[in-house]
Structure 1
Amino acid sequence: MYILEYEVCAIILTCIILAACIMGRIKHDSQFKIYVSMLVYLLVTSITDLLSGYFINHIEKYSIWYIYILEYIYFIFKMLMIVMYCLYNLESAESCYRRNRKLWVVITIPAVFGLVLLAINTFTNVIFKIDKVNGFVRGKLIGVIYAISIFYIVFAIFYIRRFDKIIEKYKLYNIEFFAIVTILSVIIQCVNPRYLVESFGEAICFLVLYFNVQKPDDLIDGRVATFNRKAFMDRAKVFITSKIPFNVISVSIEDYEYLEKIFGKDCMSDFEIDLADYLNSKTKDMKIYRVSDYMFYIVSNVNTYEQMKDLTEEILKDCDRVWMVGDLEIPVIMDICLIRYPEDVSELEELFTCTNYFAKEDHGKENRVIIAGDNEYYNGRRKSKVKLAIHKAIKNKSFEVYFQPIYSTKDKKINSAEALVRLNDEELGFISPEEFIPIAEEDGSIIRIDDFVLDEVCRFARTNELYKKGIEYIEVNVSVIECMKHDMAKRVSDKIEKYGLHPGQINLEITETATVNSPQMLDINMRKLVEGGVQFSLDDYGTGYSNINYLINLPFHLIKMDKTIVWSSFKNDKAGIALDSSVKMIRKLGFHIVAEGIETAEQAAKLESIGCEYLQGYYYSKPLSQKNFLNFLDD
């Protein structure tokens, strides 16, 4: 009598794993599909083995042909499952096996031979036979079937061991565990034929594979059900270590912090899930990774560069619309960037730097595709060169300070200016502040740049007696890192005193980001300097971090309306209403207003009419070198 309880357990366990696979939202790549196919084959073999065992236990009641049919189904699906197991293992090496014709011959021949033996078994009984007395009787060549199975298991393991540098260790260990347990369960069943434990042992192996390979918790982003940053880093390190070329498409959302404030985190979380589902639907065998908030990577070492280019354009076309989350329209702006290894980046950190840079770069208000290899403005390798240029400029004091005039609508003349730092390198040429300032902030060299600019402004103002030329004060930008320094107030005061300037001749510009990142220390530094006569401006007002508390609690003198809100007001009636209301509110709070980005007479007239006292932009002048600024004032 056969013991059937193990087969029942195998069926139940297999059904549970299948249900988990079907209900899961993880991307179904090729290896996953093979895994599910094996589960189906295991379910079929478990059911047929269970029924066959039951019929043999009650062979006097049933025709032996029922058992023959069940056994043939069992052996056919068992053969298919073991072939799929081999392919599952080889899939861990991805493209390394797919175009190898000799390998496919090796994989195909044993299975075909086994199926031929099954086909002639009806006439020869060389594999098995069924009789009323002994039930299932093994034939002379049944060992060949087991030998074929062992061949596939051993062959797959030895083959993928050749690629152990590009296959994650945990996959190798779990694949080997599967082989060992499967072989042991076969041996146990051969020694004790009454115990049908082979399928149960295989079901246990599938369960282990599911949790450790198909759904490892530490590699899955639970929020959007894609692979996470760690999973990408593990895979990318394998590629880079083995010098395997691969392509990455990054898809990121601009100003997501602002969208979260407007629509709420729950709504934007639902949007991010929708975006992940969309990206999964557009990519077949490529994996999707959520590497940070609202940034996804699509990774492939199989698809060609041209195919990946086509995919970026396809995503851009599909995403050039308003996204709906429930009844809400989400005005999303996407950056889609294609990067190649090793052509565009040579290490993992460069890849992250490159995608983060493009995601933060100000480029307007529309979706765009960036091909890193075609982009002359920046790529991953450029960062190290820019760093060298920054440190060389600090050492040689070769930064330049330009001045952009600011027009007073009350006095009808230029009465102040903003100091802007510029960097020209012998090798790289002109480097935009949008590029080198973030890099300088990252490595801390921005402190020395701030000190140089303030020193140069004070020297320039004193040497050329700017107050006699009608320049009441110069606005000097202060970095976030500078605002966090406890000795900021003392260093600024010492610099002003060094050049004998009146404190009111210096106006320090603080960005809204600084008010968010270091409000307490900033408050302390500001109040010390204001008591000494230095004034402050809040820069970039209206760019997404605006908080009325900072206007109320911090001692600002000027509020600078960002150019984006100024430009939007001329394109959108609602933006115009928002600008007009903001100006009225700021004026009632007792602040003076500078409107940035003024480029036409129409803009100047409009901003003056709604109450902006100071105007800055190309309509009046572009940023000028020190010599040209002096000539501008004299004219």
Structure 2
Amino acid sequence: MYNIQVQTAALCMVLVVLFFSVIQKNLMLRGRKIFYLLIATTVVTLILDIASVIAISESRRLGEWLVILVCKAYIVALVAGSFVGLIYSAEEYFLGHVKRHTRVFYIVTFAIAVAGIVVLPIHYVQKGRIVYTYGPACLVTYVFAIFYIISTISTCFVYSERISAKRRKAILVWQGIWIYFAIVQFVRQDLLLVSLAMALGVVILYSELENSEAFIDRSTGVFSSHALMEYMQDLFEQGIFFSSMDIFMQYRSHGLDLATERQIHLAMVRMLKRYQPALIFRGSSSSFTMIFLSREEQNCAFEEIRQEFNDMISLPDGREIPMKLNYIIYPDSTLASSADDAFEFRNYFMSELDKKDVIVVDKIAVSRVREYQDIREMITYALDHDRLEIYYQPIYNIADQSFTSAEALVRIRDRNGRLVPPTLFIPIAEENGMILRIGEYVYRSVCQCIRDQKPQRYGLHYIEVNLSVAQCEQEDLADQFHRIALDYDIDPKMINLEITETAGSSATKTLLANMRKLKSLGFTFSLDDFGTGRSNLDYISEMPASIVKFDRSFTLGYFYNEKTRFLMNGVIKMIRDMGLSIVSEGVETREQYDTMTGLGVNYIQGYFFSRPIPEREFLAFIKKYSETPWIVEPEEK
């Protein structure tokens, strides 16, 4: 009886994997194609392994030349299996990223291995059930198979940051099994296990990496968002042009149950499937993405969907659900460089869907995203390389006729040394969370300035530090600020924290708890941007602040808007009656100064006295006017 039981079982295993792999819905990514090549190589290797065992056992009847031919074909297949394993393990880099000479090197080594096996002699032995081959051709096989296995393992570590942990683990387990079985077969020649190692590798790779079920959205039966990312990246790496369309569903009915939502999704899928040959992906709980390999197909599908859909979707049970569709269209994939790039475009423009039904991501739109990305990168670089600078704008105390406070303002200096205005980078920093690092940097810088420069000796009572919305949402804000003040050994009374209405309304409960704790420690508060919101009166009464700051737009509005003039007259009286002080921002002229002073504000901030200036200039400024006060004399009439 032939010693082929293990190989036969292994062949059955691989054929079962092939069967389920073929019948599954899949995207035929480049890696998937290489996986099929690996299956084919494994099947051929197992068949040749079985054939070689039979040929050696029947060598007297078949003739030596045929036995040697079959045996050499088998060991060539073994080397091919290890070579294809290397390509599969590093397909993204072997076929895309590595230099051309590296690819040529491995191809040449494979050609040398095949040539060596073909040219060099091979011998075979049969002792009952024990059959095996040996000789120079077999030695070449071992050398090159081990070389490819080591290269595969090395690739997993060299590219560890780019290869997912799951993929790396599956490949290393497979290669480990291969090495272990090779050692066992070398010691026990009656156990023919090397081919089984290839078969087990196919099973492991299929179950862990190539099972298409992981790419299918179980609720709708279309491809998942993970599949979308993989498919788009595959198209980018192969340089295949495509267009895409994201479709977002907005229900006009509230309180839909999960079963109804699933029916809506299925009805949407049925509608989208009419537009072949587009591939459909589930983007999120309420969106789908269609990928087209032709811009014309995408344009036609978009027009037909818009004509067919009439703000209502019909369900199988006869119900009609009112719904609105929004679209983000990417007509040209060459505008992005990768799947991550394309997804960033999508995320950027999703925030604009409440204003527009259709957004086309063209060159102009992409330039906006690029500018956003550049600013975000600039912020990161500035934070990592200490390129933030703190400017101070003096605030004039009308009663004392001196500069008794200042506002700390952050600036960024770009790589070319130019100052970037905060209106460009603050909104982006707030959006992506970097505002927390910026806020802490500003606060620490102010604390250091107070400790090292002691501006209070020039009559400064406090410095104002802006708090962002994100900072106000931190439950440990009070503890953080108190700890930093202790680190720099400064009196908390030297810090006045500015709270905007937006910050106050988004985290009122958390913010109020922090404010109460900070106030008990000696910190004071200002309510910033008064006049820009709609609920200022409520939040003035709720917040334990001592100062209200009129926004620049509110200050200037007094001079050209009659309604603003009447409103300011009443608000000033109300705030003063509450025992709060008022800062008027944006004062630039003598007329504005006189008017605000006459209305009863307490402090003036603006270019009339000084623009924001660097720390050294600021210290010189307040020192100068502490020695020679800046007294604004009444103008002669």
TM-score, scaled relative to structure 1: 0.47
TM-score, scaled relative to structure 2: 0.47
